[in-house]
Chain A
Amino acid sequence: MNLTLITTLWRQRLTSAVRMAVVAVLCGFPLLMVTFMPAMGMTPLGNAQGIMLALAAGMIGQDVSSGVLQLLCARPVRRSEYVVSRWLGVALAGLAISLAQLAIAGAVLAARGAPPSPQQMALFAATRAFECFGLGAVMALLSSLIGGFGDLALYLIASVVGGVLQIAGQAKHWTWMDRLASEFQQTLTPTLDLQRLIAASPMPWFPIVSYLSAVALALALAIVVMNRKELSYASG
């Protein structure tokens, strides 16, 4: 982990007007729903997928295709350190925005007379954390594979393919395809349903192991891809 790389990523994201506008819309719209429909509680906040995609798009590929990475790699910085720092930077930024959104939603709901319980708030925050670190790792892998914002395109294509396979599996009653598509979707957007995990007894280890292995595998593959990458001008 390299603090310089992490803080630079944050500043880079903050200075991107388009990115910040997308994040503001993705955060603001659910908050408006919370404000005007307090009976729905925190449900309108949904998940962190949109925010994370807005923050993570091009997290590595942009540096590769622009040539910025070449200058960075001339410094005593391991490529694995770079990948992990980009992942942490994006995930922590997504988590910080999620927590801010959660705090505002909690305050609004309290003001409207429907305050969420501390347990609800904690579960929401923890779930968002798992989403941010999970999707951040997958985006790091996709971004190491393709230059520019190609990672976003890859993610969207893979999501559509996964969705189509799932629908086809359900329509044809092919349980194997339905299961395969479901696993694929979960690998693409790794997360943990904490509410279900806590309620279950005994603790179901499969989703935990599945989540951790998806994150670790995505990061390991991203590091391998980056270590094998040759850097020349506009090599993306």
Chain B
Amino acid sequence: MTGIQVEGLTKTYRRGLAGDRVRALADVSLAIAPGEAFGIIGPNGAGKTTFLGCLLGFLRPDAGRITIDGRPPDDLAVRSVTGYLPERLVLDRWMTGAEFLAYHHALARLPSDSRHVEVEAALERVGLAEASRRAIRGYSRGMLQRLGLAQAMLGRPRYLFLDEPASGVDPAGVVLFRRLLSELARQGVTVILNSHQLDQVERVCDRVAFVKAGRVEAIETVAAGAAHARVLRVRSADGPALTRERLAALAGESGAALVDMNGREARFTVADDAGAARLLQTLIGAGVPIAEATPEESRLERLFLESAPEATGPATPPPSASPASPRGPA
């Protein structure tokens, strides 16, 4: 059996030496297909990192079973095809970046004759070629994360476990990470991404699990977000301004509804992506000079809000939103 299979995974921790047991994961079951990019999202303390720890064999579940390619996660055969980037990367800071990668290349039992070339290529790939001879202790947080990603990608792993990979990374690094992860996903690497950055998860992952209080509340395909209702913000360029009544009528013609209007900016509710397209077509047809049309939440935000609305805390409707607005808590 290939891919990752998780059945009835339960994990508890003891709080303190003689304290009560706290449930971190409760009866989690899911399957991740080979080559799939799978995201794990949820609020802080939901059990995401514990789940990743169990998948990597660092933590022993109280109940349930995990197999990767039909083997337990701590099997050496599994580890030899696995790459891992922890959230808080702790390294031997006396090494240089190149030495650190060479060390992990050797630990991964990769052939020593290709070590130098592969290490240099990995450093180049994450933009650290120039800093490769510097001691890690002089690296910034973002550089450490880049180095961590380079070590996780060594030896072309078939499974890549990433825990908040872009944490502390500068915007250029975030773009680089996104590009590299998308590349890996296209190459058929199974990527398991635990991240708070919903836009990153949305761009990289095929499916997403919403974890809350140790349970998987929902598993959705990212593409499914297209079929969910949302609010579309439309800004028109200078030109003849339409009245609120006219805009509401045009929205009604296309199956949308006007939420509010503020100068040249208006907000509409649309049923799905097709509804958004119909609304824009109608507005353009009526001569509205549209300069910008932006959904208020990404597809994943919508899925997150609809699948686990209480996960985001108490609802705070926007001041201008009408009671009919389909938006969840912001």
Interface 0/1 of A71-92, CB less than 8 Å to B: 1111111100000000000000
A70–B293 alpha-carbon span in the complex (Å):
46
For B161, give the chain A residue with the smallest CB separation. A74
Main secondary structure of the interface of A (DSSP, over half): loop
Is the beta-carbon distance between A71 and B59 smaller than 8 angstroms?
Answer: no
* Binary contact readout A54-80 vs B (1 if CB under 8 angstroms, 0 otherwise): 000000000000111011111111100
Which residue among A66, A72, A76, A78 has the maximum number of chain B CB atoms within 10 Å of its CB? A76
Contact A15 B58 (CB under 8 A): no
B90–A68 touching, CB < 8 Å: yes
Query: Is the pair A230, B59 in contact by a Cβ cutoff of 8 Å?
Result: yes
Size of A's binding interface in residues, CB under 8 A = 24
Contact status A76-B80, CB under 8 Å: yes
Q: Is A201 an interface residue (CB 8 A)?
A: no
Query: What number of B residues sit within 8 Å (CB to CB) of A?
Result: 32
Q: How far does the alpha carbon of A4 sit from the alpha carbon of B151 in the complex, in Å?
A: 16
Q: Is A231 an interface residue (CB 8 A)?
A: yes
**Minimum distance in angstroms from B82 CB to a CB of chain A:** 6
Evaluate whether A68 and B91 lie within 8 angstroms (CB atoms) in the complex, with A8-B103, A75-B108, A231-B53 already known.
Answer: yes
Complex-state Cα separation, A16 to B107, whole angstroms: 22
Interface centre among B57, B90, B103, B108 (most CB of A within 10 A): B90
A77 x B53 contact (CB < 8 A): no
B103 touching A71, Cβ below 8 Å: no
Contacts of B79 in A (CB 8 A): 74-77
Taking the closest CB of chain A, its distance from the CB of B170, in whole angstroms, is 23
Contact assessment for B88 and A4 in the assembled complex, using a CB-CB cutoff below 8 Å: no
Query: Which among B84, B90, B106 is the interface contact of A74 at CB below 8 angstroms?
Result: B84
Complex: A232 Cα to B13 Cα, angstroms: 12
Residues in B whose Cβ lies below 8 Å from that of A73: 57-58
List the B side residues contacting A230 at CB < 8 Å.
53, 58-60
How far does the alpha carbon of A12 sit from the alpha carbon of B94 in the complex, in Å? Answer: 7
A233 at the interface (CB under 8 A from B): yes
* In the bound complex, CA of A231 to CA of B74 (Å): 12
Instruction: Enumerate chain B interface residues (CB-CB to A < 8 A).
Output: 49-50, 53, 56-60, 76-77, 79-80, 82-84, 86-92, 94-95, 103-104, 106-109, 151, 161
Can you report 9 A-B residue pairs in the complex whose CB atoms are below 8 A from each other?
Answer: A11-B94, A66-B90, A73-B57, A74-B56, A74-B82, A74-B84, A75-B104, A232-B49, A233-B87
